Amino acid sequence: MDQTQAPYLDAVIEYVRRDPSRLHVPGHKGIASDPALVEAIGMAALEHDISAGLKGIDLGPAPTPFQQSQDLAADAWGAARSWFLLHGGSQGNHVGCLALGHIGKEVIVQRNVHSSTVDGMIMAGLIPTFVQPEIDPDLGIAHCVTPGNLETALSENPQAVGVMIVSPTYFGAVADISALAAVAHAAGVPLLVDEAWGAHLYFSSRLPEGALACGADLVLSSTHKIVGSLGQSAILHRGHDSLIGDDLINRCLTMLETTSPSSLLSVSLDGARRFAALEGERLLGEVLDAVDDARARIRVIPELDVLDERLLEAPSVHGWDGVRLAVDVRGTGASGHRVADLMRELSDVNVELYTETIVEAMFGMGSDAERDADRLVASLEAALGALDEADRERRRRFASPPPWGALRMTPREAFLGPQESVSFAKAEGRIAAESLAAYPPGVPNVLPGEELTQETIQYVTDTLSAGGQVRGAGDQTLETVRVVANP
Ligand SMILES: Cc1ncc(COP(=O)(O)O)c(C=O)c1O
């Protein structure tokens, strides 16, 4: 297909150029808004924020410009079909879960899936069996799921109707998707890949292959993360020969979508796709060069290291995405949280993610990566210079989490059914109605529907008292926890 075209973007530009009478939503009509807002986002953003459902743009004879743009996206990513998502990558995970929910009930799920997948399972009423990703005990981070572990999970759960995994990880570890797809397909079930962090893999020959090229059935791209569409826009792709049909995806997606989709998000997807298809190889090459150079400069700073090709030594890691810059701060003795705080306070350098051991900077396709890298390196040096003795003794040792408790009811039943708050310390044997994930490594310790074990209660309590974080809990102090009410 002709990737120089951007049919939806062009149709919206043409509509604005014609200066038509806009007797439809949105009510600002491209002219009326708060002056500070106009100054912040520009009049052009208001003008191009138009209604969906206009003839010749998203309605009228097929293929409409909107459909053509989705077809071009499918072509660019190598998908059989693509759908623009205007509710973030999260919506893609919700759709994937609902699609599997239509097919059946039991699914195999990587334990540290994004919270949107857990939410999707709640919506769909799925019964999960979890597979543990490989955990790096030194860095306290999770890598990928191995094909061997997936094979075991599928053979132990022959009723499973699908598999949901995450690749790449936040840190750029890419799973062996071809092997995982082969294992899933041998069991007759689809492989859904949350490739939220890998939308760019398709546009550079220097990056690992994307999941769509490796036989995945449904793939989620959070295009806003690295490819550069507007925040909250994403794309869901169906692979060639997918075991999940278009109609099912259409039905699930319609259920989860606003009836007033934002034209700004869709034009940004159309434009970002064209930019990536035409310029991605060059732009990502520039980012890779700048990030490689920054990695080399950080490696020689005493006390710092970086995550790099060495990740490939981990059995579950098949490829590595060099666009990520994860700085290993263990040598400082301080936590990544403290280093990131100092980078922000001293240099106004704000990073995407930090853990006990890592500070991760995110670069974007087409951004000024050299400048970003220079500021990052300088801010790391400034932060290191400002660490005091107490900071350097603050980092906690990583203890491996205990096994999660047995699933006593579906996440949906636990989350939506009658609940009560009880003392966390005394909650052993109760069924959780909320999630708890201690960081590091961020793999959920408890999910709705699971029995709370004494080991897990102790582990989470120890993490909190050592200054760690536990995400998901309604009561952040964890004096209480929400559990399923006793009959
Ligand atoms: C692995 C993964 N999947 C899905 C999402 C959700 O994407 P979005 O924030 O676009 O809704 C995220 C967000 O960070 C993520 O890390």
C-alpha of residue 197 to centroid of ligand 1, in Å: 8
Look at residue 470 in the predicted model and tell me its pLDDT: 85
Atom of ligand 1 nearest to the CA of 87: 11
Q: State which of 85, 145, 222 you would mutate to test the pocket of ligand 1, scoring each by most atoms of that ligand within 8 A of its C-beta.
A: 222
Ligand 1 pocket: which of 84, 86, 91, 114 to mutate (most atoms <8 Å of CB)? 114
Other C-beta atoms closer than 10 Å to the C-beta of 387 total: 18
Distance 196 CA to ligand 1 centre (A): 6
Got the DSSP string for 62-117? SSPHHHHHHHHHHHHHT-SEEEEESSHHHHHHHHHHHHHHHH-SEEEEETT--HHH
Report how far residue 280's alpha carbon sits from residue 323's, in angstroms, rounded to the nearest whole number: 13
Ligand 1 test: best mutation among 94, 95, 116, 169, most atoms within 8 Å of CB?
116
Task: Work out which ligand 1 atom sits closest to the CA atom of 224.
Answer: 10
Host H or E run for residue 454: helix 454-465
pLDDT at residue 395, rounded to an integer:
63
pLDDT at 398: 66
**Ligand 1 centroid – CA 200 distance (Å):** 15
Q: What pLDDT score was predicted for residue 138?
A: 87
Burial-class residue 248 by CB neighbours within 10 Å (0-12, 13-18, 19+): middle
The residues of the chain scoring below 50 in pLDDT are none
426 CA distance to ligand 1 centroid (A)?
A: 34
Ligand 1 mean position, distance from CA 222 (Å): 7
Reported pTM: 0.96
Q: Which residues contact 364 (CB under 8 A, 6 or more apart)?
A: 226, 227, 228, 287
Q: What is the pLDDT of residues 190-199, one digit of tens each?
A: 999 999 999 9
pLDDT of residue 32: 82
Give the pLDDT confidence score for residue 69 in this predicted structure: 98
Distance 421 CA to ligand 1 centre (A): 29
Residue 119 has a pLDDT of: 93
Q: Please state whether 42 falls in left (phi above 0), alpha (psi between -120 and 50) or beta.
A: left
Going by C-alpha positions, the residue among 415, 481, 480 that lies closest to residue 449 is: 415
Pocket of ligand 1 (CB under 6 A): 88-90, 93, 114, 116, 166, 194, 196-197, 222, 234
Look at ligand 1, atom 7, and give the residue with the nearest C-alpha.
89
Burial code (b: 16+ CB inside 10 Å, e: under 16) for 116-153 equals bbbbbbbbbebbbbbbbbbbbeebbbbbbbbbebbbeb
Which residues does residue 319 pair with via DSSP β-bridges, in sequence order? Answer: 174
- Residue 296's Cβ-side half-sphere holds a number of Cα atoms within 13 Å equal to 5
Sorted by where each starts, the structural domains of the chain and their CATH numbers stand as: 279-392 (3.90.1150.10), 411-484 (3.90.100.10)
